[in-house]
Every structure is written in C-alpha cells, then in structure tokens.
C-alpha cells in the first residue's frame, strides 16, 4: 500500500498534535515524516504528516475518524496519496528554457510527473515536444477572447492535475484561472513583489538592483500576486545589461520552477490566504 499525506490547518490550541496523531496511531499506520508550524501572528497551526497505512487498512478509515474529530478543532484537512504521477499540462510561449527543463526532468523522473500535453500560443516548440512523444497543441492568438475559450476547453479535455506556466507570456482571464485555483503554477522572472508585469529584467536594470530573482507562485486573477511557493536570487552588478540579467536569470527560473512543482506534487504546500506554508 502506498503512503499518504495528511495536510491540515486550524486555529492554534493545545491538544491538536495528540488528537491527530492518536487517530493515525489507532489505525496502526506508520508515520514516515511529520512537520508542523505554529504561526504566532495569525494564531494558526499547520501540519504535514506522511504515513503508511497498515496492509488491509485503507486510509478511508483514518479519513472517517478525522472527519469526526474536525469540528472539535475546526480542522481544515485533506489526505492525498503519494507516489501517484500527476497529469501535467505545460503552457509555454517563445522562451524555451523553462519548458525544456521540465520536459527533461519529467523524462528522467527527476520530477515524477506525466506531461500529457504542451500548449502554446506559438508553433516554435513542436519539434522538441513531439520528439519526446508528447502532444503539442498550438493555440494561436488571432482573436484573444476566442483563443482563451479554446485554451480553456483544451485544458478541460486534458483534465490535468496541475497546469504549469513555463514562461507563458499571456495574462490569463480571471474566469479561466479560477477553474484551476491551487492547481496552476507560474514562474515569474523577478523576485516578487518587485517588478511585476512585463520586462522585469529591464525594470531591474533601470533600478540598479544588486540581486535579481525568480518566483514561482500559484496563479490568481491578480497579476503576479498569487501565493508564493518558491524563490531564489543571484547577485548582479552595474556591469550587467538587461540582456545579461536575462541570461543569468534563466538558470534561476528553471531551478525555482522545478522546486515549486516538486513541492506541490509531494503535497508540501498549504495555501493560507495570500501566502503559503511550504514544508521542506
């Protein structure tokens, strides 16, 4: 039997850990990893428990007991399986680096995902994607509203568990984003919340920054403002042009996006309003 992950959030108070671990122990499950965080600012408690149910004891029994326990602690909880390769659709525009990196990581099982399709507003990446035996869908933008409806229908037809925007250079409408809330990740080429929107490397150059960064976040209707999953930075100097900043930033973008996707598929992320709790 494969392992499962329990993610929970609730108001912080004594007795939560004992009660929840007691439910898991009562069913003879083996705890593989447990992490928790008490936030003193918002008074919330967060926990991730990876556990292996005993043979013959499905996690549905644990779920039933947690459902009975939930009202006493106002638990917001879910149990998710580990070891199942999620179906992923990647959206990409002309920049190839983030897409290519994800495809290689999927092919080598560095990321244990099943890329079921790549969708793009451009035809550029078809040879690369199709050479790997992955479907490539070109959705050109002649009429933007029509293209957005077509893209939305294509995503529904593929029914992915996760949508990844690997430098998809189009702003998606709020109604489409809402359909994938908590299941759509974007890589933005700046250290958000600095330099949102277009040409962040040029913005960074014009401000004379001493570091540049990359940010992976869940997509929301507000541009580049979704809950942040992963970030990293690299030092730069006044000698860097916008072009050299972009070149240096590309490596950072691929690493940050891969980390974010891995955290999501391993169920290490809890969304709490505008931010996340990411268990390492």
Query: What is the rounded distance in angstroms from the CA atom of residue 162 to the CA atom of residue 148?
Result: 18
93's CB contacts (< 8 A; 6+ apart) are 120, 121, 122, 167, 168, 169, 170
Check residue 180 and give its pLDDT. 97
Q: Give the number of C-alpha atoms closer than 13 A to the C-alpha of residue 204, restricted to the C-beta side.
A: 35
DSSP 171-207: PPPHHHHHTTTTSEEEEESS-TTSS-SS-HHHHHHHH
Q: Which residue has the tokens 């933008």?
A: 141
**Collapsed DSSP state (helix, strand, coil) of residue 59:** helix
275, 132, 115: which is closest to 192 by C-alpha? 275
Backbone angles phi, psi at 145, to 5 degrees: -65, -40
Residue 2: per-residue pLDDT: 81
Query: Is the entire prediction scored with pTM above 0.75?
Result: yes
Taking every pair of C-alpha atoms in the chain, what is the biggest distance, in angstroms?
63
* Cβ neighbours of 274 (radius 10 Å): 11
Query: Please, are residues 53 and 59 in contact by the beta-carbon 8 Å criterion?
Result: yes
pLDDT score of 184: 98
Q: Could you name the CATH architecture of 87-278?
A: 3-Layer(aba) Sandwich (3.40)
Q: Around Cβ 247, how many Cβ atoms within 10 Å?
A: 12
Distance CA 150, CA 33 (A): 42
Q: What integer pLDDT is reported at residue 223 of this predicted model?
A: 86
> From 3.40.50.300, 1.10.10.10, 3.30.70.260, 3.20.20.150, which CATH number describes the 4-81 domain?
3.30.70.260
The ranges assigned to domains in the chain are 4-81, 87-278
Q: What is the pLDDT of residue 1?
A: 61
What pLDDT shows up at residue 36?
97
Quick one: pLDDT at residue 163?
98
* Average pLDDT, 10 consecutive residues per value, the chain (280 residues): 91 97 93 96 96 74 94 96 93 95 97 98 96 97 96 98 96 96 94 78 86 94 93 90 88 96 98 96
Catalytic residue among 42, 224, 232, 240: 224
Read off the pLDDT of residues 255-269 as tens digits, 9 standing for 90 and up.
999 999 999 999 999
Q: Tens digits of per-residue pLDDT, 210-245?
A: 888 899 999 999 988 999 999 999 898 898 888 888
Residue 237 backbone dihedrals phi, psi, to 5 degrees? -135, 180
Alpha-carbon distance 280 to 267, whole Å? 10
Residue 12 is a catalytic residue: no
Which pLDDT belongs to residue 179?
97
């Amino acid at each position: 039997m494969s392992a499962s992950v329990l993610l929970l959030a609730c108001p912080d108070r004594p007795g939560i850990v004992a009660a929840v671990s007691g439910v898991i122990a009562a069913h003879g499950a083996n705890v593989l990893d447990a992490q928790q965080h008490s936030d003193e600012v918002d008074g919330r408690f967060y926990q991730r428990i990876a556990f292996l149910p005993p043979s013959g004891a499905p996690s549905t029994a644990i779920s039933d007991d947690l459902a009975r326990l939930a009202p006493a602690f106002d638990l917001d909880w879910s149990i998710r399986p580990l070891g199942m390769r999620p179906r992923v659709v990647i959206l990409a525009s002309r920049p190839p680096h983030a897409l290519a990196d994800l495809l290689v990581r999927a092919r080598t099982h560095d990321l244990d995902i099943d890329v079921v399709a790549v969708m793009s507003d451009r035809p550029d990446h078809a040879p690369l994607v199709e050479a790997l035996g992955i479907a490539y869908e070109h959705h050109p933008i002649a009429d933007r509203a029509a293209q957005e409806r077509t893209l939305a229908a294509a995503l529904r037809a593929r029914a992915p568990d996760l949508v990844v925007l690997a430098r998809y250079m189009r702003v998606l409408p709020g109604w489409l984003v809402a359909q994938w809330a908590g299941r759509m990740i974007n890589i933005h080429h700046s250290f958000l919340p600095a330099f949102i929107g277009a040409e962040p490397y040029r913005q960074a150059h014009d401000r004379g920054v001493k570091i540049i960064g990359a940010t992976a976040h869940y997509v929301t209707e507000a541009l580049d403002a979704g809950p942040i999953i992963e970030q990293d930075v690299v030092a730069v100097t006044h000698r860097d042009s916008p072009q050299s900043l972009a070149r240096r930033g590309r490596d950072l973008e691929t690493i940050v996006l891969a980390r974010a996707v891995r955290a999501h598929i391993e169920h290490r992320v809890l969304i709490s309003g505008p931010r996340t709790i990411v268990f390492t």
